């Protein structure tokens, strides 16, 4: 029995992946698509964007472990509904996301692009910054809660919107349509950390911008398709929002001809807010395989029927 690694580029990364499995004391075979192996011997699939395919040959599969925290790529793969699925999560993933969000907000407030530009002409471009304290985080899960704590420690007023109510010291928990409207009306910064599901696809659209009253800066670090991209530039032009810091896009890499690249009010980063460290993914995969072999639930399980 063994592991099948299904991720783009996995053939070239197989040596490194095997070393990370060995470091965990895992000495069973590791295969990639194209290898000569018996699908019935595959116990775990370690996957990133595997694509839809015929999953029936994997009769003895115990676990699909997602390489990333998001599992929209697995929803697209049409996995059998009864399969056990887990996603990646780690302290380093949370820490990195917190640092990205906090530093980008500071960069925005200090208008760093203008200061970098001014430095080139020895221009002492003093300004008193663009401040604002109220943050609304869409999604108060593993990453959203960590970001909330990070922002609280920097003195922000933090609200978070989620499906279920949360009890987090110092964080206002908002739920439902009314909670979303309340949060949108009061925020200076809006941070999307929702998973991509049928309910969150295109959620950030012209109807949502119309509910914002304080011209927030929008940061999308969840998934690109939660933002209705065609509605963004009109919202910037009309002043409903003051800027957009985007790390994720419907199409990645963002096409070179995309108008977001050249827009002054939009900052583009190449899906680097946080990344899955391979050694952490493989450590969790080994731990989860042991758990499911023992008949237990894996850590960070995914409910495919809920889409996250
Ligand atoms: P998570 O732990 O599953 O949390 C998701 C949160 O969203 C939960 O609070 C959930 O509510 C809420 N939610 C889901 N659907 C909702 C809806 N329809 N209405 C309101 N709230 C809803 O996810 P996570 O680990 O924090 O990760 C969030 C996303 O970040 C991932 O799915 C991934 O797409 C993205 N991500 C991006 C990067 C990057 O580099 N840019 C890196 C890693 C992850 P409940 O708490 O009530 O369930």
Atom of ligand 1 nearest to the CA of 197: 15
- Is any ligand 1 atom within 6 A of the Cβ of residue 271? yes
Distance 111 CA to ligand 1 centre (A): 29
User: What is the distance in A from the centroid of ligand 1 to the CA of 71?
Assistant: 10
Of the pLDDT bands very low, low, confident and very high (cuts 50, 70, 90), residue 9 is confident
pLDDT of residue 181: 98
Look at residue 52 in the predicted model and tell me its pLDDT. Answer: 96
Would the pLDDT of 114 be above 80? Answer: yes
pLDDT for residue 11 is more than 80: no
Fold classification of 2-90+276-302 is: Rossmann fold (3.40.50)
What are the pLDDT digits (tens) for 42-58? 999 999 999 999 999 99
Specify whether the backbone of 170 is left (phi greater than 0), alpha (psi in -120 to 50) or beta: left
- For a ligand 1 pocket test, name from 90, 99, 143 the mutation site with the most ligand atoms within 8 angstroms of its C-beta: 143
Using CA atoms, how far apart are residues 307 and 77, in angstroms rounded to an integer? 12
Q: How far, in Å, CA of 106 to CA of 287, rounded?
A: 38
The answer to whether 2-90+276-302 and 91-268 have equal CATH topology is yes
**pLDDT tens sequence across 233-242:** 999 999 999 9
Does residue 10's CB lie within 6 angstroms of at least one atom of ligand 1? Answer: no
- 91-268: CATH superfamily: NAD(P)-binding Rossmann-like Domain (3.40.50.720)
Please state the domain extents for the chain: 2-90+276-302, 91-268
Provide the annotated active-site residues.
Answer: 223, 271
Tell me if the pTM is above 0.75.
yes
Q: What is the pLDDT of residue 173?
A: 98
pLDDT digits (tens, 9 = 90+) for 145-165: 999 999 999 999 999 999 999
Contacts 24+ apart (CB under 8 A), 60-66: 60/1, 62/289, 62/292, 62/293, 63/288, 63/289, 63/292, 63/298, 65/281, 65/284, 65/285, 65/288, 65/289, 65/298, 66/302
Q: What is the pLDDT of residue 10?
A: 76
Task: Provide the pLDDT for residue 89.
Answer: 98
Q: What's the mean pLDDT in 156-177?
A: 98
Could you identify the atom of ligand 1 that is nearest to the CA of residue 221?
A: 41
- Our mutation pick for probing the ligand 1 site, out of 69, 168, 274, counting the most ligand atoms within 8 A of Cβ, is 69
Report in angstroms the alpha-carbon separations of 142 from 8, 93, 191, 235, 261.
Answer: 26, 10, 14, 30, 30
């Amino acid at each position: 029995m063994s592991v099948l690694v299904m991720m783009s580029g996995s053939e070239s990364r197989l040596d490194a992946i095997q070393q990370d499995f060995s470091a965990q004391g895992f000495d069973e075979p590791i295969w990639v698509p194209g290898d000569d192996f018996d699908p019935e011997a595959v116990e775990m699939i370690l996957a990133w964007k595997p694509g839809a395919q015929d999953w029936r040959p994997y009769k003895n599969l115990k676990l699909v472990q997602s390489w990333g925290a998001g599992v929209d790529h697995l929803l697209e793969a049409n996995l059998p509904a009864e399969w056990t699925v887990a996603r990646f999560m780690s302290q380093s993933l949370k820490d990195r996301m917190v640092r990205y969000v906090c530093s980008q907000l500071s960069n925005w407030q200090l208008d760093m692009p203008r200061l970098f530009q001014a430095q080139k002409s020895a221009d002492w471009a003093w300004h008193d910054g663009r401040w604002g304290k109220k943050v609304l985080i869409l999604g108060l899960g593993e990453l959203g809660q960590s970001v909330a704590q990070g922002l609280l420690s920097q003195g922000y007023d933090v609200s978070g919107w989620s499906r279920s109510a949360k009890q987090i010291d110092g964080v206002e928990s908002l739920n439902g349509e009314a909670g979303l409207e309340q949060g949108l009306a009061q925020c200076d910064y809006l941070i999307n950390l929702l998973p991509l599901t049928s309910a969150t696809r295109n959620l950030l659209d012209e109807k949502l911008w119309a509910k914002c009253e304080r011209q927030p800066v929008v940061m999308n670090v969840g998934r690109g398709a939660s933002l209705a991209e065609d509605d963004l530039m009109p919202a910037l032009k009309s002043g409903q929002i003051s800027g957009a810091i985007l790390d994720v896009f419907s199409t990645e890499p963002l096409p070179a001809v995309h108008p977001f690249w050249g827009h002054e009010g939009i900052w583009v980063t190449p899906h680097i807010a946080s990344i899955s460290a391979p050694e952490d993914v493989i450590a969790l995969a080994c731990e989860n395989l042991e758990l499911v072999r023992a008949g237990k639930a894996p850590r960070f399980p995914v409910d495919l029927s809920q889409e996250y």
